[in-house]
Structure 1
């Protein structure tokens, strides 16, 4: 990654490693982020979207090419056809109310099997090739196969049985027929689909005419049956009504029954007495209530001033009495004078006591007048009660006399009611019979065809525009969905923003992916001498590991310089002399970056050494010193001196301390924790300016956690587009001591051409023109 991009993140390096992630933009940048994400999604997944849309469109075109055209003919039928007024008056059958249930019933009749069979027979559709092809459906074939298996015969199942169309043919007919209500009206629209426009119109007209004719025939049959039944019933009712009338007349003559205005005389007397009794009881009830109010008032002690509060409860007699009114006025005047004197001289003054005694006398006088009125009310109550008792005796006498009357009146009422009912029923049936007999000569149907169907001019299915639009838009929608799903499932690191937001670490550099190149011819080796220094010369590394020296003006070298710059300006620790390079998983490029960083530092003239601490898989040793006889383990245990184990690169003056693996190492973490390793690193600190340590990955091994006392700072290498985010997060979570010492992360093997698709709002950072301007190459 170019230097400008690294400087952009220089300030972020000062943030706490475990601190909260800072938002990159304000709230107003949300729309811009959405637009950038959409543009980036299209640039990343345009092939998926395009291929899906093309396939969907091709499928739509193939369907339109293979699907046979279908023509739909339509005809409308009006329900509840209004009849002439005289027909409605004479109609024997009730006019049905075409509500929602009735309309649904008519729709079922239109789609019934009986109506379908009638149309099939009328138009001879069993011989129509279109319907014969429909009859050879999967259902028919399955029925034939089942018949072959059950009967052991290979004869075909006949399409018709007893001259009737087969169920398969009827089902094929009904599958093409549809009927629905038009809005909220009483109009039914019938539709029929066929591959022939003229045939579709002919069939739908036949369905409508068959339905109307069936309705007319059904109504005619119903009227004829009702007329026959009415004729027989009228004959019986006439005989019954005549016999009942004769029985009434004979019974009246035998019992000498006389009535006034259609009612017996005894009934009129009882009714009159009942009315008088109700009035007497009302008068008695009022007198009782009035007397109760007087008694409730007289139960209070008249000497108490509070007794005057209930005086108004006795009603209008007390209010209309002039005596009570006068006494109350004088009483109220004395009460007022008592209150005034009590306010001036006190309640116990002699004048106040005298006025209070006079007020008490007036209260007693008022209650004496009330007692007189109560006696008058008592007399009225007794008089009303006596009158009620006399009327009750008269009623009992009249009822007793009425019960002694002969029960012949009840019998005659029953006979008259029966005779009247039979006469009324006979007249009703006679009117219905006359109307039915007239209506048989003028049959009308409740339904009619509004307008016959004509052959459709265009096909109804398949709809070319709709299918194409659905194919194109559906393909685009499906492509975008698949693209979005692929993008969401792509849980790997692609941009520096992802590293900073997810890991809360600054992204130090984007190291580009170097193409595989042939290694140059090895340089001429020095002749072997007895000098050990000359014999421990590091082998010429591969072309990738020589990039920082062989191509100092490349993007790759510039990205390594960015890592060195971040190490030199690391504010987290005072010293960044010992730098550990690790990763979450193997083969993420940590060894290559460690070697390139060490070569870059050595090429600048600094004293640098690279130490291979990946004891179980010393890949760096296999590159620089595959024939090394001793290494870090031998130096640490004292079997060999440090000078005998160090190899040097003559081009960059880089020192290299290998790790020689002679057998299986079971406790590598204990080796790295030993005091001898700590003393070795203290010596390296004293002799070199930079100590680059190639460490094992975090996830499979725990060795890196044992190096926290040896390493000043760590750099995490993450492979671009391959390492899962969850894996890196879990690796850092399980190694908190390493996480605290991380100065940043490096995205290795970055595809710079693809970065513009994933980092859309900073895509101009990755243009080659910026590098060429400063003499840098794209490699």
Structure 2
């Protein structure tokens, strides 16, 4: 059998189960029920103890009503109708006075006397502010004062002292020194206004300002005229420069002396005569060449004559002399006159351009000076308007302040009324039932927060749903461990109770067969191979994988016509075997129910199988194979050969791999199995460990069909669970 070619279903990567049910919340709640109950009891107990230890506190109350008064308006503008205060403004003003530390210090000084030290006053002030509280109502324009103390009469007396000192201090704040201060400010503004008027007159005299707008307009017009003339001059200058450049280009090729007469007729006639003689000699040569051979003396002689004549013609051409007559060029004088005129025009235009630039600079400086003077004069006028308005406003404020002072002095009345005088309270504000209720509320909230923190820190699993959400693999089996003390030891293999043959003994009430229907279905559908090889892997020895393998083998026994083989690779050489020692008949005890009759199996003859020791199980058609003593670790090729041989002899081969914390054999050989099943222990196996193990198996090429959750408990009581 070639394992690498077997068909497998497509692997779904990244499957995450996010649905959280009510059962998950209840599992978490009842898992931490002891801690939550302990936190609740301690919280309620502490709250009751604090309530019993607290002394009864009494709170005195006083209430003030604030009415509108003229001296609230402190603005500098008094023209027109008085501005109405915004909602809560008057109450906030009075509340600031009542809540000020200076008012509280004044109250404490009257109580402690003039001999009190600064430290005593500061300590008393801290104690006072802890017991005093102010509350304002902006809609009703009322202020409520509260003072808390264990003595009700002392609480009411403190509020009376606060109110008495408050009315004295606020009268001094709103009326004392206001008229003289406003009058001093008015006189100061008047002095500043007079000084500013004098400065404006001196400034206008210095710069000769009569009408600043007309002067600026005249300067702008003059500047525009000069700029226009400058632009015109620039245009003419550019035109003359172009004309001069053109004339210079034209005059470059005009000579001062030109050729008047030239004659070379005699030289030409001599040259013509020699060329005619050359033609005659060439014609004679042609005649001789037609009658004689090319190397005859007649032909060679005529060739020498033709050659000598050609040399003479060439020499004669070099010696030819003609007759020439030169004279003065009149056009040259005309061009020079034109160049002189254009050059003089350019020099004049350049001088005019410089003069116009100087005039523009002078005009710009004058215009900028006028603009700066106008800005400064405008600022002076703005300042004078502001000072005039301030003087008018301060004069009116002085009048109103004088009226308010006269009214306050004559009527001795105020706009704040006491609508509820302080009275000693009769009922405490901290009864015992309040502490009990608060402790019960805190006892409900704190356990919830404690459970939330513990859940966020916990990295183990409680239910199959949590395993599927975190790992992304289906849970194939999750048997519930009985809650009795005897049943809780069923998964503990550190000191297991053994029955006949050294096999682990089950409690009498535990069922003899665990249902592994979903596990077997996942194994059967894992590949198209006729026989299945299942790799059972756990991280630690205490995951309960032994019982899972035994139960799974018992269920597979009924589905196969051949013996079920359990390959024990987890037993240590120097420790007792996991599946126990054989009895006198050479059979192993099996803790799960009664099986079928054992098939007759011939002794293995393959050399590979001789490395294993096969032990039958009493009363079951199951074989347990374990490596013989002294067997070395198999190579990958030997492992493949061994698995192929076991597949040929058995329908189901269940490999009990050693824990990953002790050996990596199971992960390495997971690729050779049709299905790999992980064993996870509830409340113990950590999530990062399982996720790392899953990633290692998948990287090695293994096919994980699911997870078996062991040592799972039922945390929800039956009376609640039946409604889920």
Is residue 2:40 matched to residue 1:53? Answer: yes
The residue correspondences of 1:175-254 to structure 2 (distance < 5 A) are 175-216=130-171, 222=177
1:459 equivalenced with 2:428 (yes/no): yes
Measure the CA separation in 2 of the matches of 1:464 and 1:65.
7
Offset, 1:492? 3.2
* Structure 1 residues 407-463: Cα deviation after superposition (integer angstroms, max 9, x where no partner): xxxxxxxxxxxxxxxxxx999999998997797554334444333211122223x36
Answer yes or no: is the 8 Å Cα contact 2:27–2:462 preserved in 1. Answer: no
Alpha-carbon separation, structure 2, partners of 1:108 and 1:435: 22
**1:321-340 alignment, distance < 5 Å:** none
Going from structure 1 to structure 2, the CA distance change for 1:573 and 1:185 (only over 3 Å counts) comes to same
**Does 2:465 correspond to 1:477?**
no
CA shift, 1:673, in A, is: 0.8
Residue 674, structure 1, aligned to residue 668, structure 2? no
* Displacement after TM superposition at 1:687 (Å): 4.1
Matched residue SS, 1:750? coil
Q: Deviations over 1:300-328 (max 9, x none)?
A: xxxxxxxxxxxxxxxxxxxxxxxxxxxxx
2:407 and 2:547 map into 1 onto residues whose CA distance is 111
**Separation in structure 2 between the aligned mates of residue 511 and residue 226 of structure 1, nearest angstrom:** 95
Match of 1:508 in 2: 476
User: Does the aligned pair in 2 maintain the 1:636–1:680 contact within 8 Å?
Assistant: no
- Aligned 8 A contact 2:613 2:627 in 1: no
Tell me what 2:241 maps to.
none
Q: Which whole-Å CA distance do the structure 2 matches of 1:214 and 1:699 have between them? A: 82
- State the match for 1:717 in structure 2: 679
Deviations 1:678-709 (A, max 9, x none): 44444434444543322123466432244256
698-707 or 194-203, larger mean C-alpha shift: 698-707
Deviations 1:578-621 (A, max 9, x none): 33222244431223433454466679995233322248778673
1:582 aligns with 2:537: yes
Q: Is the CA contact 2:677–2:704 (under 8 Å) kept in the aligned structure 1?
A: yes
TM-score by length of 1: 0.49
Q: Distance in 2 between matches of 1:51 and 1:187?
A: 48
Say whether residues 1:624 and 2:614 are aligned partners. no
503, 514, 517: which is aligned to 1:542?
503
What is the SS of the residue equivalent to 1:580? strand
Pick the aligned partner of 1:656 from 613, 624, 631: 624
Match of 1:110 in 2: 98
Instruction: Count residues in correspondence.
Output: 468
Aligned to 1:178, the other structure's residue is in SS state: strand
Following the alignment from structure 1 to structure 2, what is the Cα–Cα distance between the partners of residues 491 and 713? Answer: 27
- Residue 692 of structure 1 corresponds to 654
SS of 1:475's equivalent? Answer: helix
Distance 1:582 1:429 in 2: 98
Distance in 1, Cα, partners of 2:666 & 2:628: 18
Q: Are the equivalent residues in 2 in contact too, given 1:578–1:690 (CA < 8 A)? A: yes
TM-score for both structures, normalised by structure 2: 0.52
Corresponding residue number in structure 1 for 2:418:
449
CA pair 590-707 structure 1, distance change in 2 beyond 3 A: same
8 Å Cα contact 1:511-1:750 kept in structure 2 = yes
Distance 1:121 1:745, change over 3 A: closer
Going from structure 1 to structure 2, the CA distance change for 1:490 and 1:196 (only over 3 Å counts) comes to: same
Query: What CA distance in whole angstroms lies between the structure 2 residues aligned with 1:745 and 1:566?
Result: 13
Q: Note the C-alpha offset of 1:198.
A: 1.7
1:559 pairs with 2:520: no
Alpha-carbon distance change, 479 to 649 in structure 1, aligned in 2, over 3 angstroms: same
Q: CA deviation at 1:208?
A: 0.8
Q: 1:453 to 1:482 in 2, by over 3 A?
A: same
**Which residue of structure 1 aligns with residue 712 of structure 2?**
750
- Map of 1:74-223 to 2, 5 A cutoff? 74-80=61-67, 104-120=92-108, 122=110, 124=111, 160-161=116-117, 166-216=121-171, 222=177
Q: 1:439 to 1:112 in 2, by over 3 A?
A: closer
Q: Is the 1:511–1:748 contact (alpha carbons within 8 Å) kept by the matching residues of 2? A: yes
Residue 612 of structure 1: aligned partner: 568
Structure 2 residue matching 1:735: 3-state secondary structure:
helix
Distance 2:466 2:665 in 1: 27
Residue 379 of structure 1 aligns with which residue? none
CA RMSD of superposed structures (Å): 5.2
Give the 3-state SS of the residue equivalent to 1:179 in structure 2. strand
Q: 1:649 and 1:116, CA in 2 relative to 1: closer, same or farther beyond 3 A? A: closer
Q: Which residue of 2 aligns with 1:18?
A: 12
Partner Cα separation in structure 2 for residue 219 and residue 641 of structure 1 = 111
Contact 2:676 2:703 in 1 (8 A): yes
Partner deviation per Cα, 1:691-750 (whole Å, 9 max, x = no partner):
332212346643224425653433322223322333223222222277753443322233
Alignment of 1:341-360 (within 5 A): none
CA distance in structure 2 between the partners assigned to 1:729 and 1:434 by the alignment? 87
Q: Cα distance 1:80–1:611, how it changes in 2: closer, same or farther (>3 A)?
A: closer
Q: Is residue 510–residue 559 contact of structure 1 (8 Å, CA) maintained in 2? A: no
Report the more deviating stretch, 71-80 or 462-471: 462-471
Instruction: Give the number of the structure whose residues are more often helix, by fraction.
Output: 1
Structure 2: segments with no counterpart, 5+ residues = 1-7, 71-81, 188-393, 482-486, 584-602
Distance 1:428 1:187 in 2: 28
Give a deviation string over 1:148-174, Cα, whole Å, max 9, x none: xxxxxxxxxx98239x96321233224
Quote the residue 2:462 is aligned against: 494
Q: Aligned partners of 2:407 and 2:496: how far apart in 1?
A: 116
- Write the distance in 1 (CA, Å) between the matches of 2:399 and 2:440: 73
| Cα distance change of structure 1 residues 661 and 490 upon mapping to structure 2, 3 Å threshold | farther
- The change in CA–CA distance for 1:672 and 1:179 in structure 2 (over 3 A counts) is same
Contact 2:56 2:150 survives alignment (8 Å): yes
2-side partners of 1:755 and 1:220: how far apart?
76
Task: Pick which of 642-651 and 729-738 moved more.
Answer: 642-651
Cα distance change on mapping 1:680 and 1:471 into 2, 3 Å: same
1:728 matches 2:690: yes
CA contact (8 A) 2:91 2:137 kept: no
Question: Within 1, Cα distance between the matches of 2:659 and 2:405?
Answer: 104
Contact 2:615–2:623 under 8 Å retained in 1: yes
Structure 2 SS opposite 1:656:
strand
Over 3 Å counting, the alpha-carbon distance change for 1:74 and 1:97 in structure 2 is farther
Q: CA 1:16/1:494 → structure 2, altered by over 3 Å: closer, same or farther?
A: farther
Matched residue, 1:349: none
